[in-house]
Amino acid sequence: MKRSSIKVGTRGSPLALAQTQLVISKLQEAHPRVKFVPVVIRTTGDRIASATALRKAGKGVFVKELERALLRRKIDCAVHSLKDMPTELPAGLEFGAVLERGEAADVFIGREGVTIDKLPPRSVVGTASLRRQALLRATYPAIEVEDLRGNLDSRLSKLNGARSRLGGIVVAAAGLQRLMGESAPAHQLLPKNVLVPAAGQGALAIEIRAGHADMRRLLEPIHHAPTAAAVAAERALLKRLEGGCNVPLGVHAEAGDDGLVRVMAAMAAPDGSQLIRSEATGSVDDPDSVAAALETMMRNRGADAILDELRVGGRRPKAASNGHRRRNGRPKRGRRTVRRRGRARRR
Per-residue CA distances from 241 to 6, 227, 254, 303 (Å): 37, 21, 20, 9
147 is catalytic: no
- In the set 76, 84, 147, 271, the catalytic residue is 84
Query: What single-letter amino acid sits at 340?
Result: R
- 8 A C-beta contact, residue 270 and residue 134: yes
Sorted by sequence, the CB contacts under 8 Å of residue 263 that are 6+ apart come out as 233, 234, 237, 251, 252, 253, 279, 280, 281, 282, 290, 291, 294
Provide the Cα torsion 140, 141, 147, 149; round to 10°. Answer: -10
Phi, psi of 153 (to 5 degrees): -60, -45
Pair type for strands 93-98 and 204-209: antiparallel
In angstroms, the CA 300 to CA 21 distance is: 44
Radius of gyration of the chain (CA): 20
- State in Å, rounded, how far the first CA of the chain is from the last one: 62
In angstroms, the CA 259 to CA 229 distance is: 10
In angstroms, the CA 346 to CA 334 distance is: 10
- 8 A C-beta contact, residue 48 and residue 61: yes
CA angle at residue 28 from 27 to 32, to 5 degrees? 130
In angstroms, the CA 301 to CA 281 distance is: 18
Task: Kindly list the catalytic residues.
Answer: 84
